[in-house]
Amino acid sequence: MDQTQEKDRKSSLGMLARSLVRRGRFVPIATYDTGAQAPFASLAQTACLGDGTPLLLISRLAMHTRHIEAAPRVSLLYEARETPDSNKTVMNRARVSLQGKAEKLSGKAREAAEARFTAQHPETGEYGTTLDFAYYAVHPTGGRIVEGFGRIANLSAADLLYASAPAADLIQGEAAVVAHMNEDHRDAVALYATALLGEPEGDWIMTGIDPEGTDLALDTEAGRRFARLDFPEPVHGPLAARHMLVALVKKARGEG
């Protein structure tokens, strides 16, 4: 494999890793118990910022939160969702182990995290005031991705984040784009889910948009169902996002 091929492969792996992170909603988290001097594994609810930085909403009552207060290094595990038509075993599904440093958020950073998190998990809106929860960002330091058996690679912090400066306009304008799609183009949102992703019919909503894709959700009696539509190429602003969303509607309708 020459240098160009290796660079393309690394770029592709980074995209896959970020996609897995962006799809995460509940993930295993490993912390370090300084008292017992031993690792500790548990489960946490998650979302992420527009650049792919993982977010946690965790209670101070939880052991993993106490561990983070003493030793903020953590590891999160994201894996591809099993689908009905998938013939892959659990061990052959794509997954990424992300290592990073957890930081408790405050001020505007906390507000941005809360907006992103509650869009995905609306039931968490009151956690901060009733159950002593706080928002944390996990700043990646590196990771390791497994595409399947024997297809493994290390990832840098840069591989795990979408750091393109032009995307700042889209990240800042996300709320307006999402509101517009849900208020005026709910039929298009449903088409993304059903025609492009093979999800069941229903009143789908858009919960987020970022440079690499859009997040969708369907509220059912059994709970909230999540879906992620990755874009064929990144978008770096609200206008570019609009063009992409229009193109995807045409694709869903078989028009292009």
Give percent above pLDDT 70 in the chain: 91
Pick from 24-38, 45-59, 73-87, 193-207: least confident: 73-87
pLDDT of residue 62: 94
Helices (H), the chain: 3-23, 63-70, 107-120, 127-130, 168-172, 174-184, 186-191, 238-252
Strand 151-156 to 26-33 pairing: unpaired
Q: Thinking of the domain 3-162, which architecture would CATH place it in? A: Roll (2.30)
**196-217 mean pLDDT:** 97
Q: Where are the domains of the chain?
A: 3-162, 168-252
- Provide the mean pLDDT of the chain: 91
pTM: 0.91
Cα separation, 21 vs 43, in Å, equals 15
- For residue 166, give the DSSP letter: G
**210-219 mean pLDDT:** 97
**119-148 mean pLDDT:** 88
Cα separation, 127 vs 231, in Å, equals 32
Sign of the alpha-carbon torsion through 105, 32, 58, 219: positive
Structure token digits, residue 76: 């999160």
How big is the CA angle at 137 (ends 132 and 143), to the nearest 5 degrees? 135
58: alpha, beta or left, given left = phi > 0 and alpha = psi -120 to 50? Answer: beta
Q: What is the CATH code for 168-252?
A: 3.20.180.10
